[in-house]
Amino acid sequence: MLKPKAVPDDIQGRDADSLEQRTDAYFSADVETDGPIPGPFSMLSFAIVYAGSFDGKEFKRPQDYKRVFYRELRPISDQFQDEALRINGLDRARLCAEGPLPQNVMTEASRWVMEVAGSAKPVLVAYPLSFDWTWLYWYFVQYSKLGSPFDYSRCFDIKTALAVKASIPISAAGRSRLAAPLRSERAHTHHAVDDAIEQAEIFANVFEWGGVNGGNYGPPGKD
């Protein structure tokens, strides 16, 4: 097993002052869509939940998960996949007629994230990150008047963190392989709010876990 490398002294000295002034504010996000990629397809709903903070020394879970931004959106194209709609259960026809415009929703979401983060730097969290980040970043850049509150790269992939801490391949770090102590007790419902909160709890569990060489959780097991 690979041992973590020490941070070189020159990096520690160069960044020490700036690191002391930095805090990450984490936001767990879940999106529900009508297809695999943004542009040809549409994001129908999303939720962003405040998931904690880290100042380089101490990780703080939120007392609850009531700081939530949830919106449904008007589709941006005529294309959709029936299977995606069966999974999320959203009424696409209703959203085409009544859904809020993405321009308004994404600008409002950017402002909300920045207000909740305050002086901290917002970081998007997801499991896996690739899908939710792709959709949200594209929509923020395309529609928000304020741009992306997560800049172009402030993001945290829970799947990668689990693979590193558990010393397992990425291909073995799926959600179904989480050990019981790392899981959330919440059900995965495919409603964006429920799933974003479930994910926030998993994120905190993985973040606080000492890994295979520390903590009491042990490595993830198979279902």
pLDDT in tens, 91-106: 999 999 999 999 999 9
Q: Is residue 146 helix, strand or coil?
A: coil
Pairing label, strands 24-33, 43-54: antiparallel
Helices (H) and strands (E) in the chain, counts: 7, 6
CA-atom Rg of the chain in angstroms: 18
Predicted confidence (pLDDT) per residue in 145-176, tens digit = 999 999 999 999 999 999 999 999 999 999 88
CATH homologous superfamily for the domain 19-208: Ribonuclease H-like superfamily/Ribonuclease H (3.30.420.10)
Length of the chain: 223
pTM of the entire predicted model? 0.87
Task: Give domain limits for the chain.
Answer: 19-208
pLDDT at 40: 98
Q: Of 40, 12, 69, 33, give the one whose Cα is nearest residue 197.
A: 69
Amino acid in position 74: R
